[in-house]
């Protein structure tokens, strides 16, 4: 019989015997679940174990000789031993929580280990061809990560047949009981298993095989294992896995200990460990005000780590500790009151956190480390200078993030930041050659020290505008969320602001392409470290709906006001209150998160018709580059129009961003944008493709009705015309006049956006301008002619309709 099959059969019998004999000894139910068997090296065995273990050495004596071991988690060993000596349940739980492996517990567990050794002996004597016994020897406590793989302790560095039995005691699941059987003693061999041996020859040699001189050894000593660099033979991938397992233990232990301290159910979920820079953490991971607990790391290494949690969650946890009444707790959280009492209370929570990391790392990490909680500080992530040493040094970090859950409700994230050097992860992802050569991260100008952020007009040459835009967009995302909440609370209905889009636009593009129909503009004076103006823009209909909702107009009266465009004094006043709330939102977010202290003060409201705006005038706001933040408004479940917040780009230090984007587009699209038929972009936009520039364009098809555009393109192409398709947002001036013969505006519906493009075309050339759209009326035709449109095409159009239109506007003109 195959030796492995024989041993597996014996192990099935052992499983039954062990559970029966241990249950009989303990006087309670004891079960061993499905056996897990695999060949493993000593290194693999101890890599697979987490937490302190009790190791009972097993000597094989007789016709089979060798050394094995019985391994079990210390808490499970205490539970079995304490059950044998009948410790009261409460006392047993306390002893387990303290991992108190007393002499009495050790002796009682030793009896159980003897029973297990006897069970293995009996079944092997009955079923194995050679006669031998499992003899239980001394016990020892060990930490798996601290086992020296090359030594003979607690077992030799060889291949084992690792047999694990998940245990259940009196209905309670426990960990695994692991028996290590020396594979060579049983004649077991696996081709893919080899014992790793490290060359311990004390004579160091260079790559040529010659003994190294003192200078070479001294040079290489700088790259050997320390808090900053690692030995070339150090397996950093395996080391990272061990650390991740430790952080999982920290997660579980922290959940338990915080719950015990606060007297509520606490769970930490969604553990995510990743490498981050200081900048990545504060701008991508930390959201809103944070409370940062500085932790000194002492022991075999000295460094600092940092525990970060949102201010509101820190206040909430502290409030739970001092048992604030629910209403008072809700109030201090909403007002972010983090006074001395709140800081002291949360400080106790942070002490528990540092204690958890200390207990786990002291016992299970390769080096003895302790975490000592020092000061607490409030931090606004968006105001952190990535190149400074405050609030944390600018070094690479290993970030361990978890979601905080209290009584089943999810709160924010908690983060633990470890310097990668401290965890010996600085070479993760490097090649062996890079490790040997001591490769350091490349230093770029962005990593050098820089001064405090300059005023918008004084940005330094190395100012990273893309990074700054990312920060601004994050702030605008916070404004979006806060605005929906606060406006909804004031109106008493559900308010959603969706699909936020932030972009650079000119004044002309904003009024002729971004908005249509009468608009209500709320001037916002910006004061503080920057003085300027911003503008809240919303359609008159939506302003009436919002204002009418606030003063609780009956639905039929509200609908009538919307249809009539009746922006009465009462509605204007009530909408003004909403604009005040919105200005307060931007003030709160920007005061906390922007690089400059600024406030937004709502001034007058004005009604504006976009098509009557003179782009070169100072009204309703100056002709300059703007950064526009647009959001779709959903009011009480009903989709409305868009809400726009318009900022001067210079105010947000984004001036020049438009030119940079244009340069980027020019580099990839030298002849201007175009569109492939049927290519719908995101949110129904037309997807722009590159113009190959091989032939001059004859006809421009501009619009948003792709079905009709395709029809026109098919007919025109057959007649030999070169077509270029643009969206309403593309720059038409790149093609006008050129060698164009005509321009078609193809609209899903007749609107001012299309007419805005008509004005651009007709003011730049005298080409035939044809508008294709459904729903033409006498009034709309007169308006179209006013804006320079020469002919109309009613859609949906047939091929014959298009042929006739081409004949009237192109062929006759050519003749």
pLDDT digits (tens, 9 = 90+) for 736-764: 766 788 899 999 988 877 887 888 788 77
- Mean pLDDT confidence for 246-259: 94
Average pLDDT score over the chain: 85
What was the pLDDT predicted at 447? 38
What's residue 787's pLDDT?
Answer: 81
Q: Between β-strands 532-539 and 519-528, what pairing exists: parallel, antiparallel or unpaired? A: antiparallel
Average pLDDT over residues 214-219: 46
Encode pLDDT of 451-465 as tens digits: 333 344 444 445 678
Alpha-helical regions (H) of 427-464: 432-437
Query: Is residue 518 within 8 Å of residue 608, measured between CB atoms?
Result: yes
The model's confidence at residue 662, banded by pLDDT at 50, 70 and 90, is: low
Coil/strand/helix, residue 667: helix
- Out of 3.30.43.10, 3.30.70.360, 3.40.50.1970, 3.40.1550.10, which CATH number does the structure's domain 487-659 have? 3.40.1550.10
Q: Nearest 5°: phi and psi at 769?
A: -120, 115
Spatial separation of the C-alpha atoms in residues 436 and 420, rounded to whole Å: 18
Please give the average per-residue pLDDT across 503-511, as a whole number. Answer: 92
User: What is the number of residues in the chain?
Assistant: 815
C-alpha 49/C-alpha 72 separation (Å) is 9
Q: How far is CA 95 from CA 74, 83, 318, 730, in A?
A: 11, 12, 29, 73
Identical fold at 3-186 and 669-814? no
Q: What is the pLDDT of residue 463?
A: 65
Residue 673: per-residue pLDDT: 36
Question: Confidence class of residue 659 from pLDDT cuts 50, 70 and 90?
Answer: low
- Residue 385 pLDDT: 85
Q: Is it the case that residue 801 has pLDDT exceeding 80? A: yes
Q: What is the pLDDT of residue 462?
A: 52
Q: Which residue matches tokens 């129904």?
A: 684
In this prediction, residue 450 carries a pLDDT of 35
Model confidence band, residue 767 (pLDDT cutoffs 50, 70, 90): confident
Q: Dihedral of CA 282/287/290/294: which sign?
A: negative
- Segment 94-122 mean pLDDT: 95
Residue 232: CB partners within 8 Å, gap ≥ 6? 223, 432, 435, 436
In the structure, what pLDDT confidence band is assigned to residue 30 with cuts at 50, 70 and 90?
very high
Answer yes or no: are the C-beta atoms of 167 and 22 closer than 8 Å: no
| Rounded Cα gap, residues 306 and 384, in angstroms | 15
Other CB atoms within a 10 A radius of the CB of residue 395 amount to 17
End-to-end CA distance of the chain: 99
Q: Spell out the CATH class of 3-186.
A: alpha beta
What residues contact residue 664 under an 8 Å CB cut-off, 6+ apart? Answer: none
HSE-up of residue 294 (Cα within 13 Å, Cβ side): 13
Sign of the Cα pseudo-torsion (390, 396, 398, 401, in order): positive
Mean pLDDT over residues 10-16, rounded? 96
- Highest average pLDDT, of 184-188, 212-216, 654-658, comes from 184-188
- Is the model's pLDDT at 266 over the cut of 80? yes
Report pLDDT for 812. 59
Architecture of the 236-428 domain: 3-Layer(aba) Sandwich (3.40)
Tell me which H or E stretch contains 630: strand 625-635
702 pLDDT exceeds 60? yes
Please give the pLDDT value at position 658. Answer: 65
- Please state, in angstroms and rounded to a whole number, the distance separating the CA atoms of residues 597 and 198: 59
pLDDT, residue 445, reads: 38
d(CA 190, CA 162): 13
Tally of CB atoms within 10 A around 168: 14
Q: What are phi and psi of 99, to 5 degrees?
A: 50, 45
Residue 435 has pLDDT above 70, yes or no: no
Per-domain residue ranges of the chain: 3-186, 236-428, 487-659, 669-814
Answer whether residue 682 shows pLDDT above 60. Answer: no
Compute the distance between CA of residue 46 and CA of residue 80 in angstroms, rounded to an integer: 22
Range 669-814: architecture per CATH: 3-Layer(aba) Sandwich (3.40)
User: Has residue 284 got a pLDDT over 70?
Assistant: yes
Mean pLDDT on 518-546: 94
- Say if residue 678's pLDDT is above 70: no
What does the DSSP 8-state code read for residue 211? B
Find the mean pLDDT for residues 186-215: 59
So what's the pLDDT on residue 740?
A: 83
> Higher-confidence residue: 814 or 592?
592
Write out pLDDT tens, residues 546-585: 999 999 999 899 999 998 999 999 999 999 999 999 999 9
């Amino acid at each position: 019989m195959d030796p492995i099959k024989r041993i597996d059969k014996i192990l099935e019998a052992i499983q039954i015997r062990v559970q029966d004999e241990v249950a009989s000894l303990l006087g309670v139910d004891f079960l061993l679940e499905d056996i897990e068997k695999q060949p493993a090296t000593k290194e693999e065995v101890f890599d697979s174990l987490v937490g302190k273990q009790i190791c009972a050495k097993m000597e094989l004596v007789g016709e089979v000789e060798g050394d094995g071991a019985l391994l079990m988690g210390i808490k499970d060993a205490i539970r079995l031993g304490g059950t044998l000596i009948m410790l009261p349940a409460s006392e047993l739980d306390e002893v387990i929580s303290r991992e108190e492996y007393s002499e009495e517990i050790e002796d009682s567990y030793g009896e159980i280990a003897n029973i297990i050794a006897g069970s293995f002996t009996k079944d092997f004597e009955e079923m194995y061809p050679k006669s031998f016994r499992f003899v239980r020897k001394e016990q020892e406590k060990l930490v798996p990560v601290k086992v020296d793989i090359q030594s003979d302790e607690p077992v030799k560095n060889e291949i084992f047949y690792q047999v694990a039995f998940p245990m259940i005691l009196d209905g309670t699941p426990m960990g695994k009981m692991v028996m290590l059987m020396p594979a060579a003693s049983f004649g077991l061999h696996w081709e893919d298993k080899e014992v790793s041996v490290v060359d311990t020859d004390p004579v160091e040699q260079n790559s040529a095989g010659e003994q190294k001189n003192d200078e070479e050894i001294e040079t290489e000593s700088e790259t050997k294992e320390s808090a900053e660099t690692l030995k070339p033979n150090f397996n950093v991938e395996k080391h990272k896995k061990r650390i991740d397992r430790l952080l999982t233990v920290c997660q579980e232990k922290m959940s338990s200990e915080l719950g015990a301290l606060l007297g509520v159910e606490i769970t930490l979920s969604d553990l995510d460990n990743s490498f981050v820079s200081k900048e990545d953490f504060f701008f991508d991971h930390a959201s809103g005000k944070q409370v940062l607990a500085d932790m000194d790391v002492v022991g075999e290494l000295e460094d600092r780590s940092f525990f970060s949690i949102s201010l509101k969650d820190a206040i909430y946890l502290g409030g739970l500790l001092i048992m604030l009444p629910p209403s008072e707790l809700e109030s201090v959280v909403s007002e972010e009151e983090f006074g001395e009492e709140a800081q002291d209370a949360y400080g106790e929570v942070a002490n528990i956190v540092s204690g958890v990391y200390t207990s786990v790392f002291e016992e299970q990490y390769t080096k003895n480390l302790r975490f000592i909680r020092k000061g607490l500080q409030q931090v606004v992530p968006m105001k952190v200078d990535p190149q400074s040493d405050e609030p944390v040094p600018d070094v690479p970090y290993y970030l361990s993030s978890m979601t905080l859950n209290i009584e089943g409700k999810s709160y924010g994230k908690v983060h633990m930041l470890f310097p990668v050097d401290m965890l010996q992860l600085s070479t993760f992802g490097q090649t062996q050659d890079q490790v040997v050569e001591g490769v350091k991260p490349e230093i770029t100008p962005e990593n050098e020290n820089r001064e405090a952020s300059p005023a918008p007009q004084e940005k330094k040459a190395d100012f990273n505008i893309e990074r700054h835009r990312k920060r601004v967009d994050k702030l605008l995302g916070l404004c979006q969320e806060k605005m929906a909440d606060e406006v909804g609370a004031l109106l008493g209905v559900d308010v959603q602001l969706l699909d936020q889009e932030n972009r650079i636009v000119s004044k002309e593009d904003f009024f002729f392409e971004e908005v249509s129909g009468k608009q209500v503009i709320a001037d916002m004076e910006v004061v503080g470290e920057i003085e300027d103006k911003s503008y809240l823009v919303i359609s008159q209909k939506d302003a009436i709906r919002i204002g009418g909702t606030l003063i609780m107009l009956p639905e039929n009266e509200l609908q009538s006001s919307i249809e009539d465009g009746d922006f009465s004094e009462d509605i204007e006043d009530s909408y003004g209150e909403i604009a005040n709330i919105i200005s307060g939102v931007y003030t709160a977010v920007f005061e906390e998160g922007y690089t400059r202290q600024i406030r937004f003060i709502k001034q007058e409201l004005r009604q504006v018709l976009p098509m009557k705006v003179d782009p070169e005038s100072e009204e309703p706001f100056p002709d300059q580059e703007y950064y526009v933040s647009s959001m779709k408004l959903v009011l009480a479940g009903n989709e409305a129009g868009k809400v726009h917040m318009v900022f001067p780009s210079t105010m947000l230090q984004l001036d020049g961003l438009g030119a940079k984007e244009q340069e980027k587009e020019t580099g990839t699209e030298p002849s201007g944008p175009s569109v492939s038929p049927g290519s719908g972009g995101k949110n129904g936009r037309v997807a722009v493709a590159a113009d190959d520039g091989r032939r001059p364009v004859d006809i421009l098809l501009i619009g948003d009705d792709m079905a009709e555009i395709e029809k026109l393109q098919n007919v025109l192409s057959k007649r030999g015309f070169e077509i270029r398709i643009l969206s309403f947002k593309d720059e038409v001036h790149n093609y006008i006049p050129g060698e164009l013969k005509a321009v078609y505006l193809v609209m899903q519906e007749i609107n001012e956006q299309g007419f805005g493009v008509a004005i651009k075309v007709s003011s730049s050339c005298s080409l035939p301008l044809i508008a294709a759209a459904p729903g033409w009326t006498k009034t709309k035709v007169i308006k179209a002619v006013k804006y320079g449109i020469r002919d109309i095409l009613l859609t949906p159009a047939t091929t014959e309709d298009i042929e006739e239109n081409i004949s009237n506007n192109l062929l006759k003109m050519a003749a």
